[in-house]
Structure 1
Amino acid sequence: MYEAQLIDAKDEKNLYYPFTSKIKWEVAHWAKLRGSSSTVFTDLLSIDGVIVAGESFDVYYHDIIECIKSLYGDPDFARYLTFSPEWHYADDDETVHLFHNMHIGKWWWEMQKKLDAQHPGGTIVPIIISSDKMQVTMFRNIPKELHHKPSSGSHVLLAYLPTSCLKHITNKVSHCRAIVNLYHMCLHCVLAPLIPARTEGISMCSSDGACCHCHPIFASFVSDYPEQLLTTGVKFGECPKCDVNAKDTGSNTMQFHLQKLSEVLDALAAFNDGNLVFVCACAAAGIRPIIHPFWEDLPFTNIFRAITPDVLHQLYQGLIKHLLSWLSAACGGAKIDAHLCGLLDFLYLAQYPYHSSETLHSLDKALDLFHQNKDIFIQLSIHNNFNLPKLHTVHHYHLMITLFGTTDNYNTEYTEHLHIDLAKDAYRTTNHKDNIQKLVEDYGMTHFREALACYIVHKHQGDHSVPLHDRELDHLVGDIHFPFYHLPVFHKIKWCSIDTGGLTKGHVTLDSLGSWLIHRHSDTVFVRLGEDLVTNDLKGFSVGQVQVIFSLPPKSLQLLFPPTVNIPPHLAYIKWFTPFPSAPDQNNRLYKLSRLL
């Protein structure tokens, strides 16, 4: 009778019946098979969803492969995409190298040679991750001239990471290790799709129809000093890139080398040999004992070489800020002016949008000038020593420019602006409760002001005018100011049927007591390209997802639009999908689209 009852009550949609969820099935499976072995609790805690000490963490992130495909297939970037490395020279004899965009650097050439040895003809897609208590991703097939404009859409918000204080862990050492391991576990989940994508490659098509077999490779990590230490596992006060001693970071003559990745990976592999052996091995390698850092299994990735210069935090807010305070304490002087001159020369040279072998030599000379004269601050008792990690990191600028191009390829200034827009400003608009969930829900409306401003500019230009260049459009958009702070929005469209037969039965009262609220969702729509287009071909349509329907205040119309233009009473903010391909998929005969983030 019991088995018959199970058959009658079986839910065909529930794969884990008679259990109601996967986690309940796995716990029962654990209890049935493991018994009282020595690893019983380790096996229990390895089950996804089991909460330890009452703590659980949420991490919100996009699929990084879909983000890359979206940027790669954006029509605005099609003519700017780069697919292969290049050498540029300043002279006919090819003796003076030039460096600017990332594909001109040595890193791309090295990776292309390694990739061709395994997968000939593959296209490299360098991935740059920027972290400032959140994750922003971009890929360097797009030139830096576009990345400099935050409104270009060439950056994608990749993830919101948890920032829990872990107050339930009272031991200071365990607390620090838990925070580091939580950070790396979250990033491992976010970047895990890069591992098979790099090995096997993925086919990606740009909006002009050109398809390439691409291999996304984690290239560089852009962040401030605390995030650099958190990522590499290096201790505070040391360099996150090389093996220099913390007491020698102020020296200009001390020899140093980049951290050896092979030795670090060997130390991380000692995790299976026990906690004491693991901690000692990591200490000998110069890193903290991190359990499986996110970069451990990423192919072709050297995290110590991936740490890039940070002009904003290292030079402006780090060295120059302190130097000015020292000068004010010393009350000026000719010799002190010479110290300032050396570091200022380095600051301006480091920000060159184009570098050559000669300007890099000038960069090194400017740094030497500062070190030759810096002892005056010690003699005047203004500063005790110069063992500053940010002062030492400037020694790596020359190498990093030759590897990844000039510093404006990976400066935190640009992602800092996005951090303000996507995190700080967005948080201030919430009720400060469930703020992460609120930010995720509202992320689709981040570029609402820019989109509305572009619509106003196009209405001023007219439908038959010459299309504007990107720079002209950005200039006109920046001059538009909205005379309102709130807009009426509509969350639902009600369709009314026309009663052609006159058979209306009268007013119908709906029963609202038995109704229930549904989850918020956005409908997908077909948009006809052009009012005069009559064709039923799919090429005459675009697909988008309606985020919100709104209307403009009547008093603002005469201020924003010319009097000859008729503005619809209702407008919509739409997130677009890629255009329809020329042919459907060969396997399922369906058209595949992806979001234009």
Structure 2
Amino acid sequence: MDPGVDSPERLGVVTDAANEGDGEALPVAEAGNLFGDHDDEAYMDLPNENATPQDGDLAMEVGMDLEGMEDDDVEADAEAMQIAADELGIEPPRNLTNIPVPSVDSIDEPDNPANSRFKHLRKGAEHVLEKRPHTVAYPNNAGVVYSTSGLTQNQCYEGQISKSSSNPYTPFTSKLDWEIAKWAKLRGPSSTAFTELMAIDGVQEGLNLSFKNTRELNKFIDGKLPGRPPFEHQEILVGGEVCDVYFRDIIACIHALFGDPDFAPYLVVAPERHYTDESKEERMYHDMHAGRWWWSTQQSVGPGATIVPVIISTDKTQLTLFRNKNAYPIYMTIGNIPKEIRRRPSMRAYVLLGYLPTTRLEYVSNHAQKRRMITNLYHACLGRILQPLVSAGKDGVLMSMANGNLHTGDCPRCQESRNHLENFDTNEIPPARDLNTIMTALKSIDHDPDTFLRTCSATRLKPVAHPFWENLPHVDIYRSITPDILHQLYQGVVKHLFSWVISACGAAEIDARCRRLPQNHNVRLFMKGITSLSRLTGQEHDQICRFLLGLIIDIRLPDSLSNVRLLRSVHAILDFLYFAQYPIHTSTTLELLEDSLMRFHDNKTIFCDLGIRENFNIPKLHFSTHYVELIKLFGTTDNFNTQYTERLHIDLAKDAYAATNRKDEFEQMTAWLDRKEKILRHAQYVEWRLAGSPLPELVDWIPPGLDMHRELYLSKFPTARARSFNQLERDYGATFFIIALRRFISLANNPSLATERQLDTSLWNVHFPFQALPVWHMIKFRRTDPVTGQLSTADSIHVRPARHDKQKSHMLPGRFDTALINDGRGKDYGVKGVLHSLFFSVPGTSNSAAAQDTGSGAYV
């Protein structure tokens, strides 16, 4: 019998060696459960298939699993799905009525010329982002080194702690002395617990430490270790209440960041223009120095000056859940540090500048008066903290880098009225607020308060007496309000979009569809739905966005309305959200960003037709119209994303509060943070000494975060050492695996086979000297961080049959992931969808050289 007669038309095995050899080899097509049922007759005449295993092969027939080869999170997700099914019931099968499902082309508006241009632009927009740009340096002197002090920052630090010492841990007496002090302040228990540990007989003497308890250690750190600028404390009397404000000298903080040895290789001191190639036709935007603002501001300062962009972020946070304790930290960083460094909390590129008062002025009964007083208090405190920037911005200050070189260094934006915020026209962007008019209105308070109020009302300005930014040089406060992915998009526009979709589709239907979603590495499952969630974080909004469009792709709307405009609106907002987060932009991708917003406005009337919205006068949605201009000025949005400073609340506010006794907490919090920073700075110095006191080496180029390279990773040992062919067919659904493997080996050995008939005949000569194969249940795709060199898992594919949970109480469903593979034959979209059934490797005992060279493979 011809072994190929009853086999399905297409069978496939994909291996990591499949593309080696002759490029003209007959392609191996795919096969699996989607192409037909298992037929035993297809294997009847093939030898060695049904041989009875010997006694020594019984272990291979049963299979030998290796425990702990898969992530605990995968197991936990599967168990959570089963528990949710037990509690809520599995969603019953739907009656498959003739629901009109819009095609991809109908969603993409093929009749719209603008959308055709959108697809044409996107097709080639991203590939240029992965290349190193063509750089044009600032033509005149910028970032000039005025002199060299002769000492690096580490050498200056060394002079502060000791004149000369061969002990790299100075002022600590030994490595053990230093390591215990470091552990106590960064990883150790509470102060009381550490004191009790030191009080145990023989501990302090046996370790020969230079401190006996927490108090002595704190005194040692405060007196002998230099650190970042200390905190100052001032009291402000507001009515009858005394408000405390803690802050640092902002100029000293800028000195600390500019001269930090960890940042020396990456620091940027002059603006540049980046282009995709030497023709300089398409501009690129990413870090601040590649934006237009730095270039234009450099022209307004003296020749040779170094601009230090100061980035300020404030956000109130809750310290406790029940005692209503709040903190209002203010963070600062500088734009000379690349965004890839600033975004990592572990790099300490942000400085805690201070804590603002959190008073509620409860004794003031008039709410309007209370709001004015709190606003004036905010501006007064911030004005005091930023006051040193006035003279520094006008006259400049000498600032040393770590290598010793010395340098000098409504809509809140436009005039659109609140009743017309829903308007959007790329050709008629509302003009920015006139700063000269604003400043004239603010100065009128010194002459006539009544005129001041009328002037502020006429210019649509909040009547604040002397706002903090009034005298700051080179500052246009309305242009300085930058895009905020977290609060403007995720917690603003996306939050509105969720509520509109739920109103349009129904909460019960949305939750039911959430429970039907399959597991995926990059998708979190909400097994109880999303409509009942409250106080969603930005991360949860991001997780829901990943499957939102899939939830509504075939949804039925009330009154038999077509869902095409709904899909287009959601699709456009998600496109805008993800384009806005690109770590590097070109003129083309900025056009795509603008087109996405236009597509939303073209289709948003669906929410009015459904009675959900009457208008779209939403300030955060309107602010999206300014994203393109602001990215061109200041660089991409990840330069200013408040998600990074939100993370700092844990390290610089919540952890600090947890270390206090809850009395006069801010004084204790600042002292705790000061000591922690001193320990971290000394750790930096010790590492430098142990490395041989090297000089900082400058890094020429830092990729701006768009590294698309992924490395395939398989664990060293398979999940199951052996799975028989019968098990592969029964448990993994690899119905035609044997024929597919034979076809692959035959083609590898004979790439000259030209017809299907010749290939089918050659299968008679393929014999397997084994009855089972090692199997992996997961492969990972890893990426390497370009700055730290650390590996992280970017994605994974799971292939695992149904099994019992660890308690043997539930049967967990199998998981066979679907992947999109770009094999160059996916027509317009360049991808092909395949269902993975099996990851395997061929044992080394095979008598086929091709089989031995295939390495690992996948059956799809």
Q: In the aligned structure 1, how far is the partner of 2:313 from the partner of 2:668?
A: 22
Q: CA deviation at 1:173?
A: 2.3
Aligned to 2:649: 419
Shift of 1:176: 1.3
Q: Which residue of 2 aligns with 1:99?
A: 285
Structure 1 residue aligned with 2:599: 369
Question: Structure 1, residues 511-537: CA drift from partner, whole Å, max 9, x if none?
Answer: xxxxxxxxxxxxxxxxxxxxxxxxxxx
Task: Compare relative contact order (CA 8 Å, sep 6+) and give the higher one, 1 or 2.
Answer: 2
In 2, Cα distance between equivalents of 1:100 and 1:187: 29
Segments of structure 2 that go 5 or more residues without pairing to the other structure are 1-233, 317-328, 506-551, 556-562, 697-783, 793-860
Q: Say whether 1:268 aligns with 2:442.
A: yes
Task: Say whether the 8 Å CA contact 2:292–2:633 is kept in structure 1.
Answer: yes
Residue of structure 2 in register with 1:591 after alignment: none
1:285 to 459, 462, 484: 459
Partner of 2:242: 56
1:268 offset after TM fit, Å? 0.4
Q: Secondary structure at the match of 1:58?
A: strand
The separation in 2 between residues aligned to 1:363 and 1:82, in whole angstroms, is: 28
- Report the equivalent of 2:142: none
Q: 1:53 to 1:327 in 2, by over 3 A?
A: closer
Instruction: Tell me which of 254, 276, 280 is aligned to 1:90.
Output: 276
Q: Are 2:627 and 1:397 aligned?
A: yes
* Structure-2 residue corresponding to 1:196: 391
Match of 2:408 among 213, 230, 237: 213
Aligned partners of 1:385 and 1:339: how far apart in 2?
15
CA distance in 1, matches of 2:275, 2:787: 31
Q: Distance in 1 between matches of 2:370 and 2:361?
A: 7
User: Which residue of 2 is the match for residue 344 of structure 1?
Assistant: 574
Cα 1:376–1:128 shift into 2, 3 Å: same
Query: Which residue of structure 2 aligns with residue 256 of structure 1?
Result: 430
Relative distance call for 1:379 and 1:75 in structure 2 (3 A) is same
**Secondary structure of the structure 2 residue equivalent to 1:123:** coil
Question: 3-state DSSP class of the match of 2:407?
Answer: strand
Q: What one-letter code is carried by the residue in structure 1 that aligns with 2:384?
A: C
Q: Do the aligned residues in 2 keep the contact of 1:422 with 1:446 (CA within 8 Å)?
A: no
CA contact (8 A) 2:235 2:244 kept: no
- Counterparts in 2 of 1:492-511, with a 5 A limit? none
Measure how far apart 1:431 and its partner are.
Answer: 3.6
C-alpha displacement at 1:84, in angstroms?
A: 0.8
The 1:436–1:363 alpha-carbon spacing in structure 2 relative to 1, beyond 3 Å, is same
Deviation at 1:155, TM superposition (A): 0.6
Superposition deviation, residue 209 in structure 1 = 1.7
Corresponding residue SS for 1:314: helix
In 2: Cα distance, 1:374 partner to 1:452 partner: 57
Identity of counterpart residues, as a percentage? 44
Q: 1:183 to 1:347 in 2, by over 3 A?
A: same
Whole-angstrom CA distance in 2 between matches of 1:146 and 1:419? 18
1:244 to 403, 411, 416: 416
TM-score, length-normalised on structure 2?
Answer: 0.44
Pairing 1:441–2:671 present:
yes
Provide closer, same or farther for how the CA distance between residues 75 and 367 of structure 1 changes in structure 2, counting only shifts above 3 A.
same
Q: Cα–Cα, structure 1 residues 438 and 365, in superposed 2: closer, same or farther, change >3 Å?
A: same
**Which ranges of structure 1 fall in alignment gaps of 5 or more residues?**
1-47, 215-237, 478-597
Whether the 8 Å contact between 2:305 and 2:408 is mirrored in structure 1 is: yes
- Corresponding residue of 2:612: 382
Specify the alignment match of 2:257 in structure 1: 71
Correspondence for 2:305 among 122, 138, 142: 122
Cα contact 1:129–1:135 (8 A) shared by 2: yes
CA distance in 2, matches of 1:79, 1:313: 32
Matches within 5 A, 1:546-565: none
Q: How do residues 145-160 of structure 1 correspond to structure 2 at under 5 angstroms?
A: 145-160=340-355
Alpha-carbon shift at residue 287 of structure 1 (Å): 0.9
Deviation at 1:445, TM superposition (A): 4.5
Q: Residue 325 of structure 1: SS of its match in structure 2? A: helix
| Corresponding residue of 2:503 | 329
Match of 1:480 in 2: none
Residue type of the alignment partner of 2:392: A
Question: Aligned residue for 2:116?
Answer: none
Residue 170 (structure 1) shift: 2.5
> What SS class does the counterpart of residue 57 from structure 1 fall into?
strand
**SS class of match (1:93):** coil
Counterpart amino acid of residue 78 in structure 1: A
Mapped to 2, the partners of 1:209 and 1:446 lie a distance apart of 25
- Residue 110 of structure 1 is matched in structure 2 by 296
CA distance in 1, matches of 2:577, 2:330: 27
CA 1:71 to 1:454, structure 2 compared with 1: closer, same or farther past 3 Å? Answer: closer
Contact 1:454 1:473 in 2 (8 A): no
Equivalent pair of 2:258/2:401 in contact (CA under 8 Å): yes
Mapping 1:456-475, distance limit 5 Å: 475=790
Residue type of the alignment partner of 2:345: P
For 1:348 and 1:414, the matched residues in 2 are separated by 18
Match of 2:79 in 1: none
Equivalent pair of 1:151/1:450 in contact (CA under 8 Å): no
Distance 1:433 1:380 in 2: 54
1:352-363 to 2 correspondence within 5 Å? Answer: 352-363=582-593
Q: Which amino acid aligns with 1:164?
A: T
RMSD of equivalent CA atoms: 3.1
> Secondary structure, in 3 states, of the residue corresponding to 1:141?
coil
Structure 1 residue 271 displacement after superposition: 0.4
- In the alignment, the residues of structure 1 paired with residue 574 and residue 675 of structure 2 have an alpha-carbon distance, to the nearest angstrom, of 41
Aligned CA distance change for structure 1 residues 474 and 192 (closer, same or farther; 3 Å): farther
**Partner of residue 177, structure 1:** 372
